Amino acid sequence: MKSKICVVGSSNIDQISYVENIPGDGETVFGSSYQMGFGGKGANQAVMASLLGAETYMITCLGEDVYADMTIENYKKNNINIDHLQIVPGSSGVAPIWVDESGQNRIIVISGSNDLIDAEKVIESLSKITDLKIIVGQFEIPLEVTEKVFSFAKENNITTILNPAPAKIPSENLLSLTDWFIPNEVEFATISNLDAFVDEDLIEYGNSISGNLIVTLGEEGAASVAEDSVNKISAPKVKAIDTTGAGDAFVGAFAYGLASDLMPQDAIKLAIDRASNSVTKPGTQISYSAK
């Protein structure tokens, strides 16, 4: 039986412009290329988990537009179960993205229908999915929805993974419902006012929450905290072309590893490997692969 994962989160259409240098205030620059693709942190994580072999469900909210039609077809192409999609009037989510020559990105997320996901309908959907091992959440849908979803998960002994991106301060209740808390180094600093590259800071924050802490560190890999120790796993040295979606590749791959009963450190190694591979290619989901 395949490992069963449900991602409750966002779907966006990525609109990616590649430029030598990001323009400053009032400046116009010429880009080298443009690409439109499928994104949204939730969608990205679901695609990565599905590519690795998980039986993956996506619960998301789309608008009544051509982007919704495109998104649905993309989910089908990636073997992701969409029986529980929600559709509302208005626009789907979009994300204009700038990527400079070093591979670093700047992203503007316009939530659209993602802000209108109905928590009660999500809970009703989750109750129909049997043998669910993991639920993954992020911060591109309303936090109160994720909190209700994680409360359902706890009541039903389902493991929860929270990727607090874009960075917002989670409630104490949401943190108490989270089994695996996975920010990147910037999100960690925003949420904790601590430095992800200082072991003592990682330990301090890790001991302040009830769940497990993993912080992704970009090209330096990731750090996990267990009681009073920090375990850092380095990333392979690669030439980064586009870092967009690398964090989502990490979370999706980690969820797959955990649902497949890998030891947490082995799941982290798999996640680093898939995230590192993704930055060597342009685009978001199209940069993901199983190996």
Active site residues: 248
Residue at token pair 């680093």: 272
Phi, psi of 238 (to 5 degrees): -135, 160
Instruction: Find all residues with CB under 8 Å of 59, minimum gap 6, and list them.
Output: 6, 7, 8, 9, 84, 85, 86, 117, 122, 125, 126
Nearest to 242 by CA among 278, 205, 215, 218: 278
Indicate the burial class of 26 (C-beta count within 10 angstroms; 0-12, 13-18, 19 or more): exposed
CA atoms of 178 and 244, how far apart (whole Å):
25
Strands 180-181 and 212-216, by their bridges, are parallel
